[in-house]
Amino acid sequence: MTGGSGGIGGAVARRLAADGMAVVVHYAGSAAKAEAVVESVTAAGGTAVALPGDVAEPTQMTGLFDAVEERFGGVDVVVNTAGIMLLAPLAEMELEAFDRMHRVNVRGTFVVSQLAARRLRPGGALINFSTSVTRLQQPDYGGYAATKGAVEAMTLIMARELRGRDVTVNAVAPGPTATPLFVEGKGEELIARIAAAAPLERLGTPEDIAETVSFLARPAGHWINGQVLFSNGGIA
């Protein structure tokens, strides 16, 4: 799984390991965080390994897939949690910031999805990550939502392109989720207001999102295909 060292990524790694999967925790920056996720998985009796790479570079990602196949014999589930979010009104956003998001969120998803389409075994699943912001139309999120709209388009079309392969392709679209990245820079009043927006009146947790991914990754979710699942407590 890409972005496995992040808050949601780490929770997904632990949940899939609890399902009995051998998990590859991909990371781009923080080896220490990725290794901490691996240690938490192995401490619970699971199997995990951390591997680096730039999701937007086909050569590096091909090497990662090669390493996974050599170590574990094949690829059954690919989860794309890697992504970055930079916020500003469209009229004020620097093009460099938009290009950075596009490189990771769109090009990175394209590269990894393409490899997944070629490598996933029958019965497998590709799970990309969108965001509930694509439906909320919140100011300052235009550039970020645009990249995730592209992810949704690729996901839905690829599900139809893989007809006959017995491979599902879906996207998970989290709402506001209590990760360190979300909380950073926000006061308690703002966080409380965001939490109250959902009918369930709380923020999501990384574990909430991980449960959605787990469902899509297991045989129980294999009849779900070509969908965007909004895991957001009803906020959108």
Secondary-structure class of domain 7-231 per CATH: alpha beta
Quick: pLDDT tens for 29-49.
889 999 999 999 999 999 999
Q: Where are the domains of the chain?
A: 7-231
Residues 6+ apart with CB under 8 A from 4: 10, 12, 13, 23, 24, 25, 26, 27, 34, 37, 50, 81
Residue 129, beta-bridge partner list: 172
What is the reported pLDDT for 172?
98
pTM of the predicted model, to two decimals?
0.95
Q: Which regions in the chain score pLDDT beneath 50?
A: none
Quick: pLDDT tens for 182-196.
877 788 898 999 999
Which of 121, 37, 106, 233 has the alpha carbon at shortest distance from 51? Answer: 37
Residues that are catalytic: 144
CA 40 to CA 34: how far, in whole Å?
A: 10
